[in-house]
Structure 1
Amino acid sequence: MGREALVPCRWNGRSAVAKALLESHELILRGGLKGRFAIAGMSEIGVEGEELHFRVGEDSLALQLGADLATSWAKKLATPPPTLAQKLGIGPDNKAWLIGEVKEPMLLAALANAQAYIMAEVRISLAVVGSAAELAHAMALHEGLPAAVPIWIVHGKGPHFTFGEAQVRQAMRKAGYRDNKVSAVSETQSATRYARSKG
């Protein structure tokens, strides 16, 4: 869930009260002024008095959030969102053992320099699954790793996938795993991290 506030806004000279929603990758205005602004496209982010100011291309915007909230939002806007590799907790010093085939470009990029090829390097495993059989195969391979090694299960999301988060969670919990983190991978894939239950 993002942050939201009902505030006076100015956009290229037009003024109105609008609901501002600050999401992870965009700021949305609804009500008197309507628009969607990608955080990655913002520049000149700053606070003047009670207002948050920023530019998107040729557009200049100001939101009268109050000094504290404007400062908080400015900090969020100026802080790049975590990369997929950071969200998954993988990298050169925390390598993942890959199970299954990766086709998603963002996941391929996240795995660059973060894939383990020998057991001594494995700190986490990551399985891409599209069926119950593929999940069972991934669990069988993961069982050969030390008990403390968690596993990310990457699965489809949305109504077009018959094997997704609910089916994965049911099978993993039945096998004695507990989910402890979720991360979006792309528009069509999500990932859930599981650890073996203790005791």
Structure 2
Amino acid sequence: MGRESVAYADWKGQSAEVKAIAEASEVILRGAIKARVPRAAITALRLDDGLLTIDLGTEQLRLNLGIAEAAKWHVLLQTPPPSLAAKLGISTEKPAFVLGDFDDLALTEALLGARVSNLAAATVLISVIVTDQDMARTLDMAHENSPKPVWCVYPKGKAASPGDSSIRLVMRNAGFRDNKSCAVSERLTATRYALAVKPIGPA
């Protein structure tokens, strides 16, 4: 879920052309005006031809997107974002096996009723990676259960070690291809890997 458009924005006394991005949890403005507006703060939406007015309590964000694009944004912002469980593809019918320890509330809630202790019963694998040892265990599990996708869950940020780039390099060198990613929480992010049909080289 997401959309990126060029718009003329009015926000907090500023008016300028911006790149407007609709993410699952926020609307982001980039360019002459920079802002991050939580979607949870939206109290009302109004559509007038190509002008979309977003009410945020006592403030308003106005985006002139053009008639067709504004209509798409209007529908998108009224549609509830998918849950973390839905983004991870897990449920009671599609349970996950989890490798590693974590204390993240968002991940804990997503796994409620969707976690099994038996690897054979899992349809997807989730590995929480915070050390190099976790990375090695993830590779072992991924190879031994290669028909099943594995979500690598790890801390956000350039300072994270292992982080996004190093995990991708290790997984790709081992023959896995990343095919989806999603935010887990303010602290964690996740990337899904599957064994490549054909061998692939380093990133």
Report the TM range for the smaller structure's normalisation.
0.7 to 0.9
The yes-or-no answer on 1:7 pairing with 2:27 is no
Q: Does structure 1 retain, via aligned residues, the 8 Å contact 2:9–2:61?
A: no
Distance across 2 between alignment mates of 1:158 and 1:15? 31
Offset from partner CA, 1:133-155 (integer Å, 9 cap, x none): 1221233234443x321111112
How far, CA to CA, are the matches of 1:165 and 1:67 in structure 2? 39
Contact 2:21 2:29 in 1 (8 A): no
Alignment of 1:50-61 (within 5 A): 50-61=50-61
Normalised TM-score (structure 2): 0.81
Q: Which runs of 5+ in 1 are unaligned?
A: none
SS class of match (2:68): helix
Larger radius of gyration: 1
* 2:79 match: 79
Equivalent positions of 1:154-193 (< 5 A) are 154-193=153-192
Question: Do the aligned partners of 1:102 and 1:128 also contact (CA within 8 Å) in 2?
Answer: yes
Cα distance in 2 for partners of 1:29, 1:173 equals 33
Identity %: 31
**TM-score between the two structures when normalised by the length of structure 1:** 0.83
Is this contact kept in 1: 2:5–2:65, CA < 8 A? no
Distance of aligned partners of 1:49 and 1:97 in 2 relative to their CA distance in 1, 3 Å threshold: same
Task: Tell me by how many angstroms 1:43 deviates.
Answer: 2.4
Please list every run of 5 or more consecutive structure 2 residues that lacks an aligned counterpart in the other structure: 199-203
Check whether the contact 2:7–2:63 (CA below 8 A) recurs between aligned residues.
no
For 1:37 and 1:22, the matched residues in 2 are separated by: 10
Which residue number corresponds to residue 201 of structure 2? none
Aligned residues: 196
Q: What's the C-alpha RMSD, in Å, of the aligned pairs?
A: 2.7
Q: Which residue of 2 aligns with 1:117?
A: 117
Aligned-pair CA distance for 1:32: 7.9
C-alpha distance after superposition, 1:63-94 (max 9, x if no partner): 33222111011112111222211111111111
Say if 1:42 and 1:158 are closer, same or farther in 2 by CA, change over 3 A: same
| Paired position in structure 1 for 2:137 | 137
Assess, with a 3 A threshold, how the Cα gap between structure 1 residues 144 and 55 changes in structure 2: closer, same or farther. Answer: same
Deviation at 1:187, TM superposition (A): 3.0
The alpha-carbon deviation at position 20 of structure 1 amounts to 5.5
Please give the secondary structure, in 1, of the residue aligned with 2:37: strand
Is the CA contact 1:22–1:28 (under 8 Å) kept in the aligned structure 2?
A: yes
